[in-house]
Amino acid sequence: MNKKTISTYDRLMQDEGFKSDYKKEYEEFALSELLLVLMDGDNKSVRKLAKEAGLSANTIQNIRSGKQKDIRLQSFKNIAQAYGYELVLEKEGERISVA
Protein backbone atom coordinates (compact mmCIF):
# COMPACT_ATOMS: atom_id res chain seq x y z
CA MET A 1 0.00 0.00 0.00
CA ASN A 2 1.45 3.35 -1.05
CA LYS A 3 0.93 6.14 1.40
CA LYS A 4 0.77 9.50 -0.37
CA THR A 5 3.50 11.82 0.81
CA ILE A 6 2.46 15.43 1.25
CA SER A 7 4.79 18.35 0.97
CA THR A 8 5.93 20.34 3.99
CA TYR A 9 3.94 23.29 2.66
CA ASP A 10 0.73 21.23 2.39
CA ARG A 11 1.26 19.76 5.86
CA LEU A 12 1.83 23.18 7.43
CA MET A 13 -1.15 24.69 5.63
CA GLN A 14 -3.40 22.20 7.42
CA ASP A 15 -2.69 24.13 10.64
CA GLU A 16 -5.17 27.06 10.71
CA GLY A 17 -2.86 29.22 12.85
CA PHE A 18 0.05 28.75 10.47
CA LYS A 19 -2.21 29.29 7.46
CA SER A 20 -3.51 32.58 8.85
CA ASP A 21 0.00 33.86 9.70
CA TYR A 22 1.31 32.77 6.31
CA LYS A 23 -1.44 34.57 4.44
CA LYS A 24 -0.90 37.81 6.37
CA GLU A 25 2.86 37.76 5.95
CA TYR A 26 2.59 36.85 2.27
CA GLU A 27 0.29 39.82 1.61
CA GLU A 28 2.79 42.15 3.31
CA PHE A 29 5.64 40.62 1.31
CA ALA A 30 3.72 40.91 -1.96
CA LEU A 31 2.94 44.58 -1.37
CA SER A 32 6.57 45.33 -0.60
CA GLU A 33 7.68 43.45 -3.74
CA LEU A 34 5.13 45.30 -5.88
CA LEU A 35 6.46 48.62 -4.67
CA LEU A 36 10.03 47.51 -5.41
CA VAL A 37 9.05 46.52 -8.96
CA LEU A 38 7.37 49.89 -9.51
CA MET A 39 10.37 51.75 -8.11
CA ASP A 40 12.93 49.71 -10.01
CA GLY A 41 11.25 50.26 -13.35
CA ASP A 42 11.19 54.03 -12.98
CA ASN A 43 14.47 54.88 -11.22
CA LYS A 44 12.53 57.30 -9.01
CA SER A 45 14.19 58.09 -5.69
CA VAL A 46 12.43 57.46 -2.40
CA ARG A 47 12.30 61.21 -1.74
CA LYS A 48 10.89 62.02 -5.16
CA LEU A 49 8.26 59.28 -4.86
CA ALA A 50 7.34 60.46 -1.37
CA LYS A 51 6.86 64.00 -2.60
CA GLU A 52 4.72 62.92 -5.57
CA ALA A 53 2.64 60.55 -3.44
CA GLY A 54 2.20 63.02 -0.59
CA LEU A 55 3.87 60.67 1.90
CA SER A 56 7.00 60.90 4.01
CA ALA A 57 10.21 59.37 2.70
CA ASN A 58 10.29 57.31 5.90
CA THR A 59 6.86 55.82 5.08
CA ILE A 60 7.96 54.90 1.56
CA GLN A 61 11.17 53.33 2.88
CA ASN A 62 9.24 51.35 5.52
CA ILE A 63 6.78 50.03 2.93
CA ARG A 64 9.64 49.17 0.61
CA SER A 65 11.56 47.29 3.31
CA GLY A 66 8.50 45.48 4.67
CA LYS A 67 8.64 47.28 8.03
CA GLN A 68 5.32 48.98 7.33
CA LYS A 69 2.83 46.24 8.17
CA ASP A 70 -0.25 48.06 6.93
CA ILE A 71 -0.78 50.57 4.18
CA ARG A 72 -3.85 52.69 3.69
CA LEU A 73 -5.62 52.31 0.36
CA GLN A 74 -5.18 56.04 -0.29
CA SER A 75 -1.42 55.77 0.24
CA PHE A 76 -1.15 52.81 -2.12
CA LYS A 77 -3.28 54.61 -4.68
CA ASN A 78 -1.06 57.69 -4.44
CA ILE A 79 2.07 55.59 -4.98
CA ALA A 80 0.52 53.84 -7.99
CA GLN A 81 -0.54 57.18 -9.48
CA ALA A 82 2.97 58.57 -8.99
CA TYR A 83 4.06 55.85 -11.44
CA GLY A 84 1.21 56.49 -13.85
CA TYR A 85 -0.98 53.57 -12.75
CA GLU A 86 -4.65 53.57 -11.87
CA LEU A 87 -6.22 51.19 -9.36
CA VAL A 88 -9.15 49.32 -10.85
CA LEU A 89 -11.55 46.75 -9.43
CA GLU A 90 -12.61 44.24 -12.04
CA LYS A 91 -15.28 41.58 -11.94
CA GLU A 92 -16.71 39.66 -14.87
CA GLY A 93 -15.68 42.32 -17.37
CA GLU A 94 -16.95 45.24 -15.29
CA ARG A 95 -14.24 47.71 -14.33
CA ILE A 96 -14.53 50.30 -11.57
CA SER A 97 -11.80 52.88 -11.11
CA VAL A 98 -10.75 53.42 -7.52
CA ALA A 99 -10.69 57.20 -7.61
| 68 CB-side CA count, 13 A | 21
Interacting residues of 88 by C-beta distance below 8 A, sequence separation 6+: 95, 96, 97, 98
Average pLDDT, rounded, for the chain:
85
Q: Has residue 26 been placed in a domain?
A: yes
| Predicted structure pTM score | 0.67
User: What is the model's pLDDT at position 59?
Assistant: 92
Query: What is the spatial distance between Cα 60 and Cα 19, in angstroms, rounded to a whole number?
Result: 28
Residue 23 belongs to some domain of the structure: yes
Looking at mean pLDDT, say which of 5-9, 22-26, 89-93 comes out highest.
89-93
How many structural domains comprise the chain?
1
Domain extent for 48:
9-97
- pLDDT tens for each residue of 55-88: 999 999 888 887 887 788 898 899 989 999 888 9
Query: In CATH, what number is assigned to the domain containing residue 56?
Result: 1.10.260
